[in-house]
């Protein structure tokens, strides 16, 4: 997980890693090969779900398959399995407008996983949700991750969210964006919401907040 103040370059970092943008200096490598552009080995989840309102839930999940010119029948069972995993199978034929914000973001997550990419990049995916829904989505993401075990890079402004979800937190400074700290989160898995009340959880939140210049 990457945290840092607004404008420090977190989203730009994600775009460079994904190949959407080129680095101004240096090189990004995946599996030992330079990244020169977007590739199917990365799934992306953005700040907003970006669902197509004229496509049903199942058709939104299958959109990458259609866009890549693959045979959708080969992925239909997987699409339904992902929706089942996300608790959305009964909404497969629903339209995006019929879903809550949290449900739409879960559809976006299913879409990112449909072609089984080894990497998942998430750019502040829960930032627009209310606090309760955001906490619920943290639990949902943790559950889905426990099933898929995807290597995941998450951008967030929430220190608590970073501690709850991550094994490792990179703290970025303000402009110019640099890495201030690389903190290992040594909390047991699986994690449940009750871990937020643990003293060690509070210690991580306090220490990371201090690195960001936030003090009690």
If asked whether residues 21 and 108 sit together in one domain, one would say no
60 and 17 together in one domain: no
Rounded to a whole number of angstroms, the distance between the first and last alpha carbons of the chain is 23
DSSP code of residue 38: -
How much is the pLDDT for 91?
Answer: 98
pLDDT band at 155 (very low <50, low <70, confident <90, very high): very high
Q: Based on the fold, state whether residues 104 and 127 are members of the same structural domain.
A: no
Do 52 and 19 belong together in one domain?
Answer: no
Mean pLDDT score across all residues of the chain: 91
Whether residue 126 is found in the same domain as residue 169: yes
Phi and psi at 97, nearest 5°, equal -65, -20
Mark out the alpha helices in 114-198 (DSSP H runs).
131-148, 159-165
Position 215 scores a pLDDT of 59
Q: Which of 93, 116, 139 is the last residue of a domain?
A: 116
The DSSP bridge partners found for residue 150 are none
61 with 156, same domain: the answer is: no
- Total domains in the chain come to 2
Last residue of a domain, one of 72, 93, 116: 116
Q: Is there a single domain that holds both residue 52 and residue 109?
A: yes
Check whether 176 has a pLDDT greater than 90: no
For 61, the token pair is 């999940």
Does residue 142 sit in the same domain as residue 178?
yes
pLDDT at 134: 87
Alpha helices in 4-86 (DSSP H): 10-18, 57-61, 63-67, 76-85
Q: Are residues 78 and 111 in the same domain?
A: yes
| Same-domain pairing of 100 and 138 | no
Q: Which residue has the tokens 């949902």?
A: 140
> pTM of the prediction?
0.87
- Domain end (from 68, 98, 116): 116
- 30 and 111 belong to one structural domain: no
- Are both 78 and 101 inside the same structural domain? yes
Q: Tell me how many helices (H) and strands (E) the chain has.
A: 8, 8
The CATH number of the domain where 134 resides is what? 3.40.50.300
- For 35, other C-beta atoms within 10 Å of its C-beta total 20
Rounded Cα distance, 212 and 203, in Å: 14
93: domain range? 42-116
> Mean per-residue pLDDT for 180-203?
94
């Amino acid at each position: 997980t990457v945290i840092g103040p607004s404008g420090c370059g977190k989203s730009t970092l994600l775009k460079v890693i994904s190949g959407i943008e080129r680095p101004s200096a240096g090189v990004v490598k995946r599996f030992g090969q330079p990244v020169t552009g977007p590739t199917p080995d990365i799934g992306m989840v953005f700040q907003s779900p970006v669902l197509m309102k004229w496509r049903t839930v199942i058709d939104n999940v299958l959109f990458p398959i259609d866009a890549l010119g693959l045979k959708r029948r080969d992925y239909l069972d997987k699409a339904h399995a992902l929706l089942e995993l996300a608790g959305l199978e009964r909404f497969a034929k629903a339209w995006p407008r019929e879903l809550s914000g949290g449900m739409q973001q879960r559809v976006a997550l299913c879409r990112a996983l449909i072609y089984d990419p080894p990497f998942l990049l998430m750019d502040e995916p829960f930032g627009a949700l209310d606090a309760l829904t955001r906490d619920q989505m943290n639990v949902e993401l943790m559950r889905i991750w426990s099933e898929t075990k995807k290597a995941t890079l998450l951008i967030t402004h929430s220190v608590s969210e970073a501690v709850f979800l991550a094994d490792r937190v990179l703290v970025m400074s303000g402009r110019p964006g640099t890495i201030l700290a690389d903190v290992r989160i040594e909390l047991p898995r699986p994690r449940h919401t009750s871990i937020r009340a643990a003293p060690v959880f509070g210690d991580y939140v306090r220490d990371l907040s201090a690195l960001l210049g936030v003090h009690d």
